[in-house]
Amino acid sequence: MKINVMKIGATINANNGSILTDEINVVTKMLSDCGHDVHYHTTRTRNMIPLPHATFHDLAEVTDTSFSEYDALLVFNGNANFYGGQEARGDLMAYTFINKSKCPVFYFLTDWLLPLQQLWPNVEKKQVQYK
């Protein structure tokens, strides 16, 4: 299977050493070891080290064909932040990817305090607050 993995609110990075993405590293390695073609979409950072067992894709380079290339999309929950009223482009692109995907989406609720929810009310508040 060709599987895409995403994390909301954090950059997937082999050098992160963070509980936010260590779970992604373990899951993608496990899927790869089982013979799956594993890909992941995340925001590229200057210190990023790609996962050795999965194919990296930059969220900023998503095209319309990206949404139909996979057999499954695994989404790990997280916190979408809008720091200082700035648009969290990576998080918004992740939500766009989830909404436009043509394959089944499996949402992993690893942090019970961050359920899948509608982002628009928070975006709307920031737009009014920061104009």
Using one digit for the tens of pLDDT, what is the confidence trace for 72-101? 999 988 776 666 656 666 667 777 888 888
Higher pLDDT, 49 or 80: 49
Amino acid 113: pLDDT: 72
CA distance 131 to 128: 5
Q: What is the CATH number of the domain that holds 27?
A: 3.40.50.2000
* Total domains present in the chain: 1
Amino acid 47: pLDDT: 84
Structure tokens at 125: 């508040």
CA distance 126 to 131: 8
- Would you say residue 68 has pLDDT above 70? yes
Q: Is the pTM of this model over 0.75?
A: yes
What domain range includes position 23? 2-130
CA distance 46 to 93: 19
CA 7 from centre of chain:
3
